[in-house]
Amino acid sequence: MTDVLVPEREFTAEYTVSNPAKILGVMLEMMKKVWRVSSSKVYADKIKWDVTGEKIDFYGEWRNRDVKDTRTVIWTRVIAQGVQDPKTKEGTITIKVKSMMKTKMEYVTPFDQAIRHMYMNSFYKTQLQQYVQIAKKRINDFDDDVRIFYGMEERAAGSLPGSRM
């Protein structure tokens, strides 16, 4: 397993917007679009909604499976958690994104293992680095799509995803 966002481990952004809970209804489509995967590769794991307090609390977890080739798959997990005022519809939402790349090559004998090791370190390493760069770009694109969805201003050039610069 390779952590795509090393050294941060996960991307986190907080947005103060009007009607933050509406993202729960479009998250699957947004993930399909950004990560360019089919419906069968995007999963809604949890969606929770609590309206018992003065404010509405919500939580959602989704993940997608992006198959790069026969050996490599990138799993991305998105968590959205927020609070919304039921009267004004104003609130905040925190979105966390974590991507992990899993590469698997089978071997049977020690000779196969040695060839696998040599192949991974000489030829396939460059391909894996390209996959990591693509995965990082997708996370950046996801932040841009969330901003567009909520009608927020664009980030300034060079600012980090999720920042309010």
Note whether residue 44 is domain-resident. yes
pTM: 0.84
Instruction: Give the residues across from 77 on adjacent strands.
Output: 63, 98
Domain count of the chain? 1
Note whether residue 73 is domain-resident. yes
Tokens of 10: 């996960």
Tally: H helices and E strands in the chain: 3, 6
Q: What number of other Cβ atoms are within 10 A of residue 1's Cβ?
A: 8
pLDDT tens for each residue of 129-161: 999 999 999 999 999 999 999 988 766 555 555
3-state secondary structure labels for all residues of 112-135: HHHHHHHHHHHHHHHHHHHHHHHH
Tokens of 107: 């071997």
Domain of 130 in residue numbering reads as 2-150
Q: What number of other Cβ atoms are within 10 A of residue 82's Cβ?
A: 23
Note whether residue 54 is domain-resident. yes
pLDDT tens for each residue of 39-83: 999 999 999 988 888 899 999 999 999 999 999 999 999 999 999
Q: Which amino acid type is present at position 105?
A: M
Note whether residue 7 is domain-resident. yes
Report the percentage of the chain scoring pLDDT > 90: 65
Note whether residue 87 is domain-resident. yes
As a whole number of angstroms, the distance between CA 148 and CA 34 comes to 13
Note whether residue 42 is domain-resident. yes
What stretch of H or E contains 101? strand 90-103
